[in-house]
Chain A
Amino acid sequence: MYGGYKRILKIDLTNETVKSELTDLLFARKFLGGNGFGVKLLYDTVTAETDPLGEDNALVIVVGPANGTIFPGAAITGIMTKSPLNGLFIDSYMGGHFGTELKSAGYDAVVITGKLKNPKFLVIENQSINFYDAEDLWGLETSKTQIKIKEKLRNPEFQVACIGPAGENLVKYASVICDTRAWGRGGIGAVFGAKNLKAIAVRGDGDIEIADPDGFLKFTTESLEIMKKHPALGKAIPSMGSTGSIDGNNSIGILGTRNWQRETFENAWKISGNAMLEQNLRIGHKACSSCIARSAIFWKARCGEYAGIVSRGPEYETLYAYGSILENDNPDSIIAADRLSDELGIDTMSTGVVIAWVMECFEKGILTAKDIDGLDVVFGNHKIILDMIRKIAKREGIGDILAEGVKVASERIGKGSNEFAIHVKGLELAGHTARGLKGMGLGYAVSSRGGSHQDTRPGAERSGKLDRAVIEGKPEHVIKNQRMTTIGDSLILCRRHAEPFFGEYLSEKYVELINLLTGFNLDLDELNMIADRIYTLERMFNCREGITRKDDILPPRFMKEPIPDGPSKGMFMRPEELDMMLDEYYSLRGWDIKTGIPPQEKLIELDLV
């Protein structure tokens, strides 16, 4: 089948049984792949009663029609589950080479349910699926785990996605690491841990066929030339990854600082990509499958107690999470924290937001030194970051509460600390402002994932293409932008390649690429419909869990406190502004304005019932 569609694999860990079925072409046309396949398979497998850390939760791993080809950025592998962090839908995407191997093994999706009796790792090699004992790997960090598994299997071609101690200890925002890439958000690693699943190793030998090979090669070669000349993709990203955004965001006053008490950081330049390059911290870089951006940069810490530590990253989000939001201007400490987080298998964004919240609790006297195990958790003190990460990953002392995420932690600690707990629907916020970019603010509020920057993107407003201070037109922008991210995640494409080339919205170019790969002969209307079908199904998943309009809000800080200083001084999201945008957003989406729930007629229109 074209587009590489082959089979869907179902694995039951409890009985260690396996089933596989051919991918139905009608299903493929309706949901496209990646994000679409994942949400449909997950929606049908779990229920509102499913405990995210219980046996009945499912992990759905997906690839799409672009994987395994040479389209630049066709590298991503998605995973979907019911999030242990907030009990809602979560999809997480990683780069690297896992997806190419999985697709070469002949699978479009893998649905994993049940629970292993004791720690094991799963091996998918073409049609053979095996379980291996992992007692001796339990407790190991992620790089060692991968090396050991490749040795055991006597083949370095395997791609190994594994958890570290954080996942084993059911930290609610534990990640899964493959290579140096992560399924970072929403606690995928804890679901692995709860299932006693230490790792999944995959390798495949099969061919990948596409519908129109000549057309595809021409389209790809031309796209490649355009991407190579793009200033960000062709030049800035290969030299410093996404670290340039630190300067960019700071210069317009939208860089989360001091737990978002401010959005300007005087010392931001010290942790910017340029400064890190000047200090010769870059020692090499690496690409994902078919990637031309090679944004995975190896940085090496040079000074102080961190000297010699190498990490792949930090990228922008981690520089925010362990840097500006903690008012930390020491790049070496961020490199070390990034590496430690990957080794322990924990999401850098959530961890940083949690630590920032503790710092503010300490500053306000809500927590005392005794509560924080004697650590001096004050803004600007980089010396405690590694200790805090270890405590959380091991659930030691204060780490045990913090491992639940900032929402639960602030509810348990109380004393008004939820006023500055920075999350949306329980997912800690990424490094993009909800006050200084009105569309992004709406995007966070309605994001299926919660505080993620991947459903709605900040690019158009940040670059000045759209006026960031106005609310007019933003609901429409957000929807069109979400259609693009949804299809990108279904294909599956890297945003860094797709955005510079295709732009912020779906277009005929997307239609052309999909048709060349799959032979579906879609038009733009049908593609928009597919995007709406997938996003609405995500919404239904969340509505089934009880989410309604009242949950589509921002952290109190963003709706009450104007940005106090800097170039964006005075900006914030007035509740009435958000309300107006929500009205328009729901009505454009065809969802019920009062409740935010998609009504029956919309579901029929989208062929979802």
Chain B
Amino acid sequence: MKKILVDSEKCSGCRICESVCSYHKLGNKFNRKKAAIKIVVEGELGENNTPVICRHCKKAKCSEACPVEAFYQDEKTGALVIDQNKCIGCGLCAEACPFGAIYLHEELSIPLKCDLCGGEPLCVKYCVPTAITYEDEQRLGALRREKGVQ
């Protein structure tokens, strides 16, 4: 399975990823508050940016917390996704995710969570500094290792 790899050091906080995500999910509207990826900004001068996006965990806390078993795995991409019809919008999954990678918005009836865009994540396509990339699972951690070995 391929996963989204995050390199916070490269993230500039431009939030294009949030915008394109919402554009895709909402059908041609922009709304960063309705995106399945979020940039968390920290530091005295806001110098640290961290993209927070679903890890598609193998033993996912979100789906474990779901009282109606609305979560299922997409066969093609391996993404853990929410079944619109089953979801009751309680938000327990959002509370359970250890990374805070599920988002709620007043106007949406089901939580927002990354579904890997069917295998071509738009956020990755538009991230100019390549802070997020879409790579084979075994590449997870490789960046750290490679930097460490040097």
Where the two chains meet, the residues of A that have a C-beta atom closer than 8 Å to any C-beta of B are 68-70, 97, 100, 104, 143, 147, 156-157, 179-180, 204-210, 213-214, 217, 224, 228, 238, 283-292, 294, 298, 310-312
Query: Across the interface, do B30 and A68 meet the contact criterion of CB distance under 8 Å?
Result: yes
| Sampled A-B contacts (14; CB under 8 Å) | A68-B19, A70-B126, A104-B33, A180-B46, A207-B29, A208-B30, A209-B28, A213-B28, A228-B128, A285-B12, A286-B47, A291-B12, A294-B129, A298-B47
Interface positions of B from 24 to 41, Cβ below 8 Å from A: 26, 28-34, 40-41
Query: Across the interface, do B31 and A207 meet the contact criterion of CB distance under 8 Å?
Result: yes
Given contacts A70-B126, A207-B26, A294-B129, contact A104 B32 (CB under 8 A): yes
Contacts of A292 in B (CB 8 A): 14, 16, 128
**Nearest CB on B from A84, distance (A):** 27
Given contacts A287-B12, A287-B14, contact A205 B33 (CB under 8 A): yes
**Nearest CB on B from A284, distance (A):** 6
Contacts of A217 in B (CB 8 A): 23
Cα–Cα, bound, A99→B13 (Å): 15
Where the two chains meet, the residues of B that have a C-beta atom closer than 8 Å to any C-beta of A are 9, 12-16, 19-20, 23, 26, 28-34, 40-41, 44-47, 49, 105-107, 126, 128-129
Cα–Cα, bound, A97→B33 (Å): 13
**Nearest CB on B from A99, distance (A):** 12
Picked from B19, B28, B47, the residue with its CB within 8 Å of the CB of A284 is B47
Cα–Cα, bound, A180→B32 (Å): 21
Contacts of B129 in A (CB 8 A): 238, 294
Picked from A157, A289, A311, the residue with its CB within 8 Å of the CB of B14 is A289
Query: Across the interface, do A208 and B49 meet the contact criterion of CB distance under 8 Å?
Result: no
Given contacts A285-B12, A290-B16, A294-B129, contact A143 B31 (CB under 8 A): no
Cα–Cα, bound, A285→B47 (Å): 7
Query: Across the interface, do A207 and B30 meet the contact criterion of CB distance under 8 Å?
Result: yes
Cα–Cα, bound, A290→B32 (Å): 11
With both beta carbons as reference points, the residue of chain B lying nearest to A67 in the complex is identified as B30
**Nearest CB on A from B18, distance (A):** 10
Query: Across the interface, do A312 and B31 meet the contact criterion of CB distance under 8 Å?
Result: no
Cα–Cα, bound, A226→B73 (Å): 38
**Nearest CB on A from B37, distance (A):** 13
Contacts of A213 in B (CB 8 A): 23, 28
Picked from A210, A289, A298, the residue with its CB within 8 Å of the CB of B15 is A289
**Nearest CB on B from A447, distance (A):** 30
Query: Across the interface, do A208 and B14 meet the contact criterion of CB distance under 8 Å?
Result: no
Contacts of A284 in B (CB 8 A): 9, 47
Contacts of A100 in B (CB 8 A): 15, 32
Query: Across the interface, do B46 and A179 meet the contact criterion of CB distance under 8 Å?
Result: yes
Given contacts A205-B31, A213-B28, contact A310 B45 (CB under 8 A): yes
Contacts of A104 in B (CB 8 A): 31-33
**Nearest CB on A from B130, distance (A):** 11
Given contacts A68-B30, A104-B31, contact A294 B14 (CB under 8 A): yes
Query: Across the interface, do B14 and A291 meet the contact criterion of CB distance under 8 Å?
Result: yes
Cα–Cα, bound, A286→B26 (Å): 27
Contacts of B9 in A (CB 8 A): 284
Cα–Cα, bound, A238→B31 (Å): 26
Cα–Cα, bound, A133→B134 (Å): 47
Cα–Cα, bound, A143→B31 (Å): 27
Cα–Cα, bound, A286→B29 (Å): 25
**Nearest CB on A from B93, distance (A):** 21
**Nearest CB on A from B150, distance (A):** 17
Given contacts A104-B31, A289-B14, contact A205 B106 (CB under 8 A): yes
With both beta carbons as reference points, the residue of chain B lying nearest to A206 in the complex is identified as B31
Cα–Cα, bound, A210→B107 (Å): 20
Picked from A210, A290, A312, the residue with its CB within 8 Å of the CB of B47 is A312
Query: Across the interface, do A69 and B30 meet the contact criterion of CB distance under 8 Å?
Result: yes
Contacts of A312 in B (CB 8 A): 45, 47
**Nearest CB on A from B5, distance (A):** 19
With both beta carbons as reference points, the residue of chain B lying nearest to A227 in the complex is identified as B128
Contacts of A228 in B (CB 8 A): 128
Contacts of B128 in A (CB 8 A): 224, 228, 292
**Nearest CB on B from A330, distance (A):** 22
Contacts of A206 in B (CB 8 A): 31
Query: Across the interface, do B29 and A209 meet the contact criterion of CB distance under 8 Å?
Result: yes
Cα–Cα, bound, A104→B31 (Å): 7
With both beta carbons as reference points, the residue of chain A lying nearest to B26 in the complex is identified as A207
Query: Across the interface, do A290 and B26 meet the contact criterion of CB distance under 8 Å?
Result: no
Contacts of B28 in A (CB 8 A): 209-210, 213-214
